[in-house]
Chain A
Amino acid sequence: MTEKQILIKLYQRLDGELSDSELEALNRHLDENPRWAATFQDIQKMEFRFKNEKNSLKPTGAGLKENILNQIDMEKYETPRNEPVVRLKPGFWTQPVVRFAYAYALGILTGLVIYLVYQGEVTTTDTPTSGMAGTIYDSRSFENMKSAGIMQFESPEVSTLCNVKYSTKLVEIRLELSSEDAVSARIEFDPRSVGILNVLNVNVSEQTSVFSASSYVRIDNVGNNSFIIQLANKTSLQNEIDFRIFQNEFPVYHNAVQINQ
């Protein structure tokens, strides 16, 4: 304990604020330290003198009360009027908690209405997947897009139909390819003018695979397959879409159509 802490304990002892264990510890400390025992005696003496004085109050002298009462002007003092306190008890419907509940319910209701309206709009504009083709970048369906041309080829080994249409933002190619053995179809374009967006396999056999690069889409085909190839029409400038068919790496068909005419 520091000196200050010991002094505090000494005064607390005089005030009767120490617990039994604290008192015991302090007494032990005083027994072991005569200097602190002497300090405690000094404090006790000072306290003793004060305690003697507590009950020795000096008389005020005669006439103090009369002097006070004479100086009090009764007329000056106005007894506060005990006006009845009017407390308006708010009605149930005007209580803050009820008002809050109103606002809360109204908010929920408004949210619900907005949700239902929005939900209704979504459902009404929902179209089948087939009808959505060509509508990614603009609102026109494939039927309403401008035709660049249809490339058709038929041989005993392979038959194909490639329908190319475009709008200001989209070029869509619908390709049907049929071959008993493996053939490779390749659609080529200028990557500065058009960029590959999506190749949708509408109906594809397991042996068929599609590979797309920045300037072409290659389809290794076996069986009867259908594809939708969507390209971004970047510039709206005249450009060619090339269509080639290879069998055993040997070109069997080549044609091209012009977009943005």
Chain B
Amino acid sequence: MERDDNELVMQTLNGNRFTFGMLIDRYQQTIFNIMLRLTGDYETARDLTQDVFIKAWEKLGSFKFKYRFYSWIYRIAINEAINFNRKKKSIKPVEKPLTANEEFEENSDEYHEMTLLYAEIQQLKMDYRVLVVLKYFCDLSYEEMAEVTKTSVKKVRSRLFSARELMRLGLMQKNFFDND
């Protein structure tokens, strides 16, 4: 039976390095993809993912077991991305989709649409981008998003609505919807 996150955290706190490795196995891909969508750059996302787990290791003693581990580590990831974004001077333009979807052939309509979609995400301001990533790539509910971002559900709803509308209007200008 798979051990739950909190049990692994507890064992890590008792000095078991192997269980921390299990937590890395469990979350590295999600964290990496959050970082990829938030920063738009593969190498940066990889570096930041490492930083997230190192920070998690250092702060593991302050983890409160009443919370869910994933919301705690997502929070660390988002803070890392926000800090990185503050230091970054310019946004790297998205030239190809960040997807791993093998169905898309280069220069196909789908490929082009995904490029536009990712470019639109990168245009959003960071707090909107965070919610889009948590909603669409982490599949979190409004309540979970509120927990991760330490804000109210009402604010999450309002911001996500704004983010979606900004993307829709941006994509409309780029004729995203005209191919149908």
Give me the interface of A with B, judged by CB distance under 8 Å: 7-8, 11, 41-43, 45-46, 49-54, 56-61, 64-65, 67-69, 71-72, 74, 76-80
Give me the interface of B with A, judged by CB distance under 8 Å: 13-15, 17, 20-21, 24-25, 28-30, 32-33, 36, 42, 46, 49-50, 53-54, 57-58, 60-61, 98-101, 113-114, 117, 136-137, 139, 161, 164-165, 167-168, 171-172, 176-177, 180
From A53, A65, A78, contact of B114 by CB (8 A): A53
A-B interface contact total, Cβ < 8 Å: 103
User: How distant is the Cα of A67 from the Cα of B43 in the complex, in angstroms?
Assistant: 14
Given the complex, which residues of B lie within 8 Å of A45, measured CB to CB?
A: 176-177, 180
User: How distant is the Cα of A50 from the Cα of B172 in the complex, in angstroms?
Assistant: 16
Whether the pair A46, B167 counts as a contact (CB closer than 8 A) is yes
Given the complex, which residues of A lie within 8 Å of B136, measured CB to CB?
A: 50-51, 53-54
User: How distant is the Cα of A148 from the Cα of B13 in the complex, in angstroms?
Assistant: 105
Q: Tell me whether chain A's interface is mostly helix, strand or loop, or mixed.
A: helix
Whether the pair B100, A72 counts as a contact (CB closer than 8 A) is no
From A42, A67, A68, contact of B168 by CB (8 A): A42
Whether the pair A60, B117 counts as a contact (CB closer than 8 A) is no
Q: Known contacts A42-B177, A52-B101; is A65 also within 8 Å of B24 by CB?
A: yes
Given the complex, which residues of B lie within 8 Å of A52, measured CB to CB?
A: 101
User: How distant is the Cα of A113 from the Cα of B136 in the complex, in angstroms?
Assistant: 76
Q: Known contacts A42-B177, A80-B61; is A69 also within 8 Å of B24 by CB?
A: yes
A/B interface sample: 21 pairs, CB < 8 A: A8-B161, A11-B164, A46-B176, A53-B99, A53-B137, A54-B136, A56-B101, A57-B30, A57-B100, A58-B36, A58-B99, A60-B32, A64-B24, A68-B28, A69-B21, A72-B54, A76-B58, A77-B58, A78-B61, A79-B13, A80-B13
Q: Tell me whether chain B's interface is mostly helix, strand or loop, or mixed.
A: helix
Given the complex, which residues of B lie within 8 Å of A74, measured CB to CB?
A: 15, 17
CB nearest neighbor in B for A76:
B58
CB of A76 to closest CB in B, whole Å = 8
User: How distant is the Cα of A8 from the Cα of B168 in the complex, in angstroms?
Assistant: 13
Given the complex, which residues of B lie within 8 Å of A57, measured CB to CB?
A: 29-30, 32-33, 100, 137
Whether the pair A58, B139 counts as a contact (CB closer than 8 A) is no
Whether the pair A58, B100 counts as a contact (CB closer than 8 A) is yes
CB of A7 to closest CB in B, whole Å = 6
CB of B118 to closest CB in A, whole Å = 9
From A11, A50, A64, A65, contact of B161 by CB (8 A): A11
Whether the pair B54, A54 counts as a contact (CB closer than 8 A) is no
Given the complex, which residues of B lie within 8 Å of A80, measured CB to CB?
A: 13, 61
Given the complex, which residues of A lie within 8 Å of B50, measured CB to CB?
A: 64, 67-68, 71
Indicate the member of A8, A42, A60, A74 with the most B CB atoms within 10 Å. Answer: A60
Whether the pair B137, A60 counts as a contact (CB closer than 8 A) is no
Q: Which 6 A-B pairs rank lowest in CB-CB distance, beginning with the nearest? A: A56-B101, A50-B136, A58-B100, A60-B32, A42-B177, A68-B53
From A46, A58, A71, A78, contact of B32 by CB (8 A): A58
Q: Known contacts A46-B171, A65-B28; is A60 also within 8 Å of B164 by CB?
A: no
CB of B124 to closest CB in A, whole Å = 13
Given the complex, which residues of A lie within 8 Å of B100, measured CB to CB?
A: 56-59
- Known: A49-B114, A64-B28; 7 extra A-B contacts, CB below 8 A, are A42-B172, A46-B167, A56-B100, A68-B53, A69-B21, A74-B15, A80-B13
Whether the pair B117, A50 counts as a contact (CB closer than 8 A) is yes
